[in-house]
């Protein structure tokens, strides 16, 4: 026990993939082991996410500084956790929540708490001399880790690309791949074909926040047709080798009147009209999943959408659930959605995130472990997705090292031949 205790926790302000401040935490153990983790940040955030503490000082990164969260780690958090066993993830996460004392981690900041929680996990795995994904599997009570199928951004709009399209993301799922290596190879072909097709059409080839293209298609059907053309150009059969996942991020379209504004088309749609639109996508294109098709408070709409399309595609709640156990329970009781996006910083602790994954599985929801549009070089999510056997991962396009860090870690984990690949996602788990 002596060497494996927390000696000191230290944080610093670093910069994420958008050049904005975020928190990095170092957990130092008495035996010298160093566990380090950093915290991601969203742009199209849900209202019910754990609280990201920012300083609001206009002179420091336009108010986005995280120096108060850093100070909370160096001060209160380090003092409270000194001498604790890092293997006791649950106890440490409970202590962090207790120390904060608020439901949403508003006092110390979810960024301070999550950075500590993840760095503690890494320190414990390193001290035990075992791979992070095996350590996480044990914490999660998952008997066998599994490499996830990626869903990868190809075309982006919404808040990730200057609102160049109303629907936020069109992603590829390389469904016929048999290994993670093959999956990434297929995605690389699709991503290259996307640049090729865009250039040939005179569309912009500059990058959106997660490394996809931002072609500024006037409406969703144009973007879906472009996706199918890109698959064909890549030599992949649409609907067999390559499926389409869509993230509407409808919260960013919802107005105070309960209607959805598709500004590029100059159209406002009611909830039933959005459901009709989504049904058209599913009917006419090889769509495997639709995320945040409706707003986070449109529970009645979600129930209707799920009754209509839940057997045909996975309907994923991101802003709807915000990796929050109470919201998942509420949604499950209503029959809202069939899948859940799992983002560690929406929840605030690793244990809390593992609990949501377990709840999701118990309720029959398809989990997708996800990054944020603001990321760092930290590759924790790869091990999280494998260790929890989540089955799917969403960490952005095959561009930018903040994204590739996760994919490259999956390739390293694939050297462990006891870890199988999840393969194609089903409509329901």
Q: What angle in degrees, to the nearest 10, is found between the helix axes of 110-128 and 89-100? A: 160
Q: What secondary structure letter does DSSP report for 320? A: T
Active site residue 311: no
Among 55, 100, 209, 247, binds Zn ion (CB under 5 A): 247
Say which of 24, 49, 210, 291 is annotated catalytic: 210
17 vs 78 by CB, closer to ligand PGA = 17
Under the binding rule (CB under 6 A), the answer on residue 45 touching ligand PGA is: yes
> Smallest distance from the beta carbon of 247 to ligand PGA, in angstroms?
5
For residue 225, what are the contacts with CB-CB under 8 A and spacing of at least 6? none
Q: Compute the distance between CA of residue 182 and CA of residue 382 in angstroms, rounded to an integer.
A: 17
Work out what residue 43 binds among ligand PGA, Zn ion, none; the CB cut-off runs from 5 to 8 Å by kind: ligand PGA
Q: Which residue has the tokens 């998942």?
A: 328
Q: Judged by CB under 6 A, does residue 318 bind ligand PGA?
A: yes
372 sits near ligand PGA (criterion: CB under 6 A): yes
318 binds Zn ion (CB under 5 A): yes
Instruction: Supply the minimum distance, in Å, between the C-beta of residue 274 and ligand PGA.
Output: 17
- The burial class, CB within 10 Å (0-12 / 13-18 / 19+), for 178 is exposed
220, interface contact from Zn ion, ligand PGA, none, CB < 5-8 Å by kind = none
Nearest distance, CB of residue 249 and ligand PGA, angstroms: 5
Which is closer to ligand PGA, CB of 105 or CB of 249?
A: 249
Position 209 contacts Zn ion (CB under 5 A)? no
Q: Which residue is nearest to ligand PGA (CB)?
A: 42
- Angle 335-339-343 from CA coordinates, rounded to 5°: 125
- 44 makes contact with ligand PGA (CB under 6 A): yes
Contact present, 62 and 358 (Cβ < 8 Å): no
Q: How far is the CB of 44 from Zn ion (least distance, A)?
A: 6
- Reading the block at residue 8, the tokens are 């000191």
Q: Which stretch binds ligand PGA (CB under 6 A): 42-50, 84-92, 115-123, 184-192?
A: 42-50
Q: Residue 376 binds which one of Zn ion, ligand PGA, none, with CB within 5 to 8 A depending on kind?
A: none
* Strand pairing report for 287-291 and 267-269: unpaired
Name which of 158, 156, 148, 167 is nearest 369 in CA terms: 148
Using CA atoms in the order 368, 350, 146, 393, what is the torsion angle rounded to 10 degrees? 30
Which part of the chain contacts ligand PGA (CB under 6 A), choosing from 23-31, 38-46, 63-71, 418-426? 38-46
**What is the spatial distance between Cα 400 and Cα 405, in angstroms, rounded to a whole number?**
9
Work out the burial of residue 207: count CB atoms within 10 Å of its CB; fewer than 13 is exposed, 13-18 middle, 19 or more buried.
middle
Q: Tally DSSP H helices, then E strands, for the chain.
A: 14, 14
Closer by beta carbon to ligand PGA, 21 or else 42: 42
**Binding of Zn ion at residue 295 (CB under 5 A)?**
no
Least distance (Å) between residue 192 CB and ligand PGA: 23
Where in the sequence numbering do the catalytic residues fall? Answer: 210, 343
Using CB under 6 A, list all residues that contact ligand PGA.
Answer: 42-45, 247, 249, 318, 341, 370, 372-373
């Amino acid at each position: 026990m002596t060497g494996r205790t927390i000696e000191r926790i230290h944080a610093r302000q670093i910069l994420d993939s958008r050049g904005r401040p975020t928190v990095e935490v170092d957990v130092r153990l008495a035996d010298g082991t160093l566990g380090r983790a950093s915290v991601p940040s969203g742009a199209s955030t849900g209202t019910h996410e754990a609280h990201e503490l920012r300083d609001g000082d206009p002179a420091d990164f336009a108010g986005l500084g995280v120096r108060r969260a850093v100070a909370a780690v160096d001060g209160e958090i380090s003092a409270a956790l000194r001498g604790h066993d890092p293997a006791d993830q649950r106890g440490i996460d409970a202590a962090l929540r207790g120390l904060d004392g608020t439901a949403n981690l508003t006092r110390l900041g979810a960024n301070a708490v999550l950075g500590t929680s993840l760095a503690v996990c890494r320190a414990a795995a390193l001290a035990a001399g075992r791979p992070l994904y095996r350590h996480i599997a044990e914490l999660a009570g998952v008997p066998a880790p599994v490499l996830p199928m990626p869903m990868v951004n190809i075309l982006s709009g919404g808040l990730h690309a200057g609102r160049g399209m109303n629907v936020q993301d069109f992603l590829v799922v390389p469904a016929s791949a048999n290994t993670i290596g093959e999956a990434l190879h297929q995605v690389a072909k699709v991503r290259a074909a996307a640049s090729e097709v865009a250039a040939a059409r005179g569309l912009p080839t500059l990058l959106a926040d997660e490394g996809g293209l931002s072609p500024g298609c006037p409406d969703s059907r144009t973007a879906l047709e472009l996706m199918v053309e890109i698959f064909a150009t890549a030599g992949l059969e649409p609907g067999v080798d390559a499926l389409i996942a869509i993230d509407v991020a409808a919260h960013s379209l919802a107005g105070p009147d309960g209607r959805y504004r598709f500004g590029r088309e100059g159209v406002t749609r009611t909830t039933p009209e959005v459901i009709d639109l989504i049904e058209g996508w599913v009917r006419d294109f090889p769509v495997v999943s639709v995320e945040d098709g409706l707003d986070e408070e449109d529970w009645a709409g979600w129930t209707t959408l799920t009754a209509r399309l839940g057997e045909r595609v996975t309907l994923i709640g991101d802003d709807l659930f915000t990796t929050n156990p109470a919201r998942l329970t509420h949604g499950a009781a209503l029959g809202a959605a069939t899948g859940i996006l799992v983002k560690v910083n929406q929840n605030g602790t690793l244990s809390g995130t593992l609990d949501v994954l377990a709840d999701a599985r118990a309720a029959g929801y398809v989990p997708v472990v996800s990054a944020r549009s603001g990321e760092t070089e930290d590759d924790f999510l790869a091990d999280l997705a494998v260790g929890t056997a989540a089955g799917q991962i969403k960490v952005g396009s095959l561009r930018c090292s903040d994204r590739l860090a996760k994919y490259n870690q999956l390739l390293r984990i694939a050297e462990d031949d006891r870890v199988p690949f999840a393969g194609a996602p089903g409509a329901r788990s």
